[in-house]
Amino acid sequence: MIIKLEHDGKSYAWDDESVTVLQGIKIEEHIKGDLVDWDQGLGRHRSACYQALGWLVFRDGNPDVPIAEVDFPITKLSAAWMKARLAQIGEMQATADAAAEEAGAAQAAPADPTGAPGSSPPSGST
């Protein structure tokens, strides 16, 4: 999921698949939970979780910058996160819908009782 936003006259784009192991450990220490808790905390608008996300987005997850010192307007980042999450959910729903439609079309196609491709009833049969 890519988060894009403007902040203090700068453009930011951050991919949630870019979190490294060391960054993940720092986030877990900061929020006192695991990365699942972090993701769920973002959905529940936990400030500590957004502070960790801000550290990744605005400070590139720099290990020399303590997460606790990162400050920014939370609503701007939370709105960008929510927009990216909803886009991701929409893409997943479109994929699921397409798969269901394809499966439905395969079930609706008449089956050849012999299973042979291109077979037809023998000539002269009624």
Q: Model confidence over 34-48: pLDDT tens digits?
A: 999 999 999 999 999
Residue 78: per-residue pLDDT: 85
Domain-located, residue 114: no
Q: The tokens 């894009």 sit on which residue?
A: 4
Q: What is the mean pLDDT of residues 3-32?
A: 89
Structurally, the chain folds into a number of domains equal to 1
The verdict on residue 45 lying in a domain is yes
Looking at per-residue pLDDT, the higher value among 16 and 106 belongs to 16
Whole-number average pLDDT of the chain: 85
Q: Is the pLDDT of residue 6 over 80?
A: no
69 assigned to some structural domain: yes
Token pair listed for 126: 């009624």
User: Is there a domain that residue 126 lies in?
Assistant: no
- Interval 47-57 mean pLDDT: 96
Q: Is residue 70 part of a domain?
A: yes
Higher pLDDT, 5 or 45: 45
Question: Within a domain: residue 119?
Answer: no
Q: Which domain holds residue 70?
A: 19-99
Identify the DSSP state of 113. Answer: T
Q: Is residue 12 part of a domain?
A: no
- Whether residue 47 lies inside any domain: the answer is yes
**pLDDT of the residue at 120:** 57
